[in-house]
């Protein structure tokens, strides 16, 4: 078999996404960028029209929507082209030029939000009651919620100009961990293999425990050598969150992060509290893992190696599409046929090529198609789940675009992870129901247990850590390498339980997680999978009403706040019940896996 990774120029058109729905050519994109830049000098003149009459107010909103839609279209094309081959200087230059123009546009429009906030209440109420404003009603209502936290025009402009500077800690962390740190090599049965951020997970899946141990200690040894710098970078990010919350008049950084989605702090606290109540079942799983691996003592480098050897099987890309299509049949013909046509007909960039971004994502914009980046491999069963996952995002975007005006079509991350993991639930059921043996069922179930652990329990641990570190900063406590490590070790001990023996360097994990530089969003993975489990059960065991309720959620886009949108679907995330249900399903999976493994 040929394992050569092709250059981007060698990728067949049928295996690449078709971006012509965004722009038919690079030249057309250049014209669009010139048009965006050409609109900016006229933005200032719109300020005087904002409050002159409802008709002029509507004209200003329309101009802003047109500008924003063009800006989004340019951004998606430039970003997607760059992800095809991140070493392509033409693509990198294109994206850099977009960022320059877009930043100027952001500064040019900085007056709009505070100016709308300053409009007389009677004027705003009259506008919102006018049917002509229907396409902007949700946008305005959401915007007006921020009125207590919006500053003067001059102050808003200053904050906008800080945007690039505010990314320094995050970008420096990325450069340090992805470029400057040298993790060396680890000897395996195949020889000396390079250890890096991207290969680390492969080492943790290695069946040879000594290989795992050496890779783990070498990996964290490099972080240990830079721990003070890493702690300083993370402390800087937390302090920035604290500063921004204080400047805008929020009670805390967490309150500021939850405010845009109108998520009560109780949702966050319910998640952490419910997961903490169910840690005994997680400890039961780690006990099962130790027994399955034949270990008296579980180490941190033992928690990722697969419990069940996966039987070798291959599924071509087209066969994977067939499996996903069959799995999603409970969602009806339109959903399946639309997604299938997209997966086979230009939505997806299918395979790895040199320079292509790793992993997978779905990029759904108002213009163009909901594009999907994959690095599909025909011998990796998880890639079928990834296809379904990203397809869930894409179909969420597809429905949102067709059901909402531009200014309120975009849904939140809180909702996004529901539609994607919902599809994974259905793929699992299909494969499990059609498994040929207990061995195959055990392999599928072991994977689901590990995935649920990673999404439900691990992300909640991360969320708890973020709450602890920000509370420390807001109470005036110093965030040092020692205090951060102590806080993280306490959580590791609580979540892993008595079967785990941690290494001295294990708590350095808290200094290497990139998600922490975008605080208070990882909890959404946990709430998302909880909601998807509850909703998939409703759809699979319900009828047309339950399926229609789920589609009402997909179509709501950004027209509702996420808690309300999910209530439409039939799940109440303001209650701890969905998280309890997810934990109960995890416990049932662990018990079934124990039986299948005869442990």
Query: Could you give the 3-state DSSP secondary structure of residue 348?
Result: strand
Using alpha carbons only, give the angle 515, 73, 383 rounded to the nearest 5 degrees: 50
Bridge partner residues of 194 (DSSP): 185
- d(C-alpha 405, C-alpha 134), whole Å: 9
Alpha helices in 85-152 (DSSP H): 89-108, 112-117, 121-128, 137-145
Structure tokens at 212: 């795992």
| Through-space distance between the first and last CA atoms of the chain, rounded to whole angstroms | 38
CB 21 within 8 A of CB 368: yes
- From residue 412, alpha-carbon distances to 175, 416, 481 in Å are 28, 6, 33
**Parallel, antiparallel or unpaired: strands 371-373 and 361-363:** antiparallel
- Tell me if 62 sits within 8 A of 56, measured CB to CB: no
H or E element that contains 192: strand 191-194
Contact 297, 503 (CB under 8 A): no
The CA distance from 190 to 210, in Å, is 14
Compute the half-sphere exposure of residue 548: CA atoms within 13 Å on the CB side of its CA.
Answer: 3
- H-run or E-run covering 186: strand 185-188
Pairing state of beta strands 500-501 and 298-299? parallel
537 is catalytic: no
Query: Nearest-CA neighbor of 109 among 53, 148, 137, 70?
Result: 70
Tokens describing residue 166: 């505010």
d(CA 456, CA 590): 14
Distance of CA 421 to the CA centre of its chain: 11
Give the list of residues 6+ apart from residue 45 with CB closer than 8 angstroms, or none. Answer: none
- Is residue 373 within 8 A of residue 339, CB to CB? The reply is no
Output the CA angle 162-485-286, nearest 5 degrees: 120
Nearest C-alpha neighbor of 347 from the set 70, 88, 21, 29: 21
- Active-site option among 390, 417, 424, 440: 390
- Candidates 224, 169, 231; CA nearest to 480 is 231
Single out the residue of 196, 23, 47 nearest to residue 111, CA to CA.
47
C-alpha 95/C-alpha 90 separation (Å) is 9
Beta pairing partners, 192: 187
Here the tokens at position 311 are 């039987």
| Residues belonging to the active site | 390
């Amino acid at each position: 078999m040929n394992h050569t990774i092709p250059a981007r120029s060698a990728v067949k058109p049928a295996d690449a996404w078709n971006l012509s729905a965004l722009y038919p050519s690079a030249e057309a994109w250049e014209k669009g960028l010139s048009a965006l830049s050409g609109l900016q000098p006229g933005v200032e003149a719109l300020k005087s029209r904002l409050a002159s009459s409802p008709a002029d107010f509507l004209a200003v909103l329309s101009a802003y929507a047109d500008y924003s839609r063009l800006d989004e279209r340019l951004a998606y094309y430039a970003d997607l082209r760059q992800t095809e081959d991140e070493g392509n200087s033409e693509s990198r230059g294109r994206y850099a030029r977009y960022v320059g123009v877009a930043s100027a546009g952001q500064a040019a429009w900085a007056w709009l939000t505070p100016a709308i906030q300053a409009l007389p209440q009677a004027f705003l109420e009259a506008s919102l009651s006018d049917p002509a404003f229907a396409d902007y009603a949700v946008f305005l209502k959401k915007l007006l919620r921020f009125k207590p936290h919006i500053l003067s025009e001059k102050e808003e402009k200053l904050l906008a100009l800080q945007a690039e500077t505010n990314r320094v800690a995050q970008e420096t962390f990325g450069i340090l961990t992805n470029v400057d740190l040298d993790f060396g090599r680890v000897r395996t049965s195949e020889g000396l293999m390079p250890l890096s951020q991207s290969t680390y997970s492969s080492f943790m899946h290695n069946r040879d425990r000594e290989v795992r141990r050496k890779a783990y200690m070498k990996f964290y040894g490099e972080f240990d050598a830079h721990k003070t710098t890493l702690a300083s970078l993370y402390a800087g990010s937390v302090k920035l969150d604290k500063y921004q919350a204080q400047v805008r008049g929020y009670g805390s950084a967490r309150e500021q992060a939850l405010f845009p989605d109108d998520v009560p702090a109780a949702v966050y606290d319910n998640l952490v509290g419910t997961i903490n109540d169910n840690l005994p079942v997680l400890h039961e799983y780690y006990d099962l893992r130790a027994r399955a691996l034949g270990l008296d003592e579980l180490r941190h480098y033992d928690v990722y190696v697969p419990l069940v050897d996966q039987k070798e099987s291959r599924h071509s890309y087209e066969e994977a599409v067939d499996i996903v299509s069959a799995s999603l049949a409970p969602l009806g013909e339109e959903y399946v046929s639309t997604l299938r046509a997209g997966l086979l007909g230009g939505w997806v960039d299918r395979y790895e090529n040199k320079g292509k971004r790793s992993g997978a994502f779905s990029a759904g914009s108002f213009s163009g198609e909901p594009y999907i980046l994959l690095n599909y491999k025909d011998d990796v069963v998880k890639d079928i789940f990834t296809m379904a996952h990203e397809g869930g995002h894409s179909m969420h975007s597809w429905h949102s675009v067709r059901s909402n005006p531009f200014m309120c079509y975009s849904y939140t991350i809180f909702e996004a992870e529901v539609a994607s993991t919902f599809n994974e639930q259905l793929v699992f059921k299909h494969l499990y129901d059609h498994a040929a043996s207990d061995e195959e069922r055990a392999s599928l179930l072991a994977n689901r247990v590990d995935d649920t652990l990673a999404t439900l329990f691990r992300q909640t641990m991360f969320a708890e850590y973020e709450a602890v570190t920000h509370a420390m900063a807001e109470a005036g406590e110093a965030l040092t390498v020692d205090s951060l490590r102590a806080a993280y070790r306490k959580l590791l001990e609580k979540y892993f339980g008595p079967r785990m023996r941690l290494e001295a360097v294990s708590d350095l994990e808290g200094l290497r997680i990139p998600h922490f530089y975008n605080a208070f969003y990882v909890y959404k993975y946990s709430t998302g999978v909880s909601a998807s489990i509850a909703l998939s059960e409703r759809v699979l065991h319900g009828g047309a009403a339950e399926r229609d309720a789920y589609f009402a959620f997909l179509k709501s886009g950004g027209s509702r706040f996420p808690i309300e949108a999910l209530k439409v679907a039939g799940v109440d995330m303001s209650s701890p019940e969905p998280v309890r249900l997810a934990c109960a399903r995890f416990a049932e999976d662990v018990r079934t896996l124990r039986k299948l493994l005869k442990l």
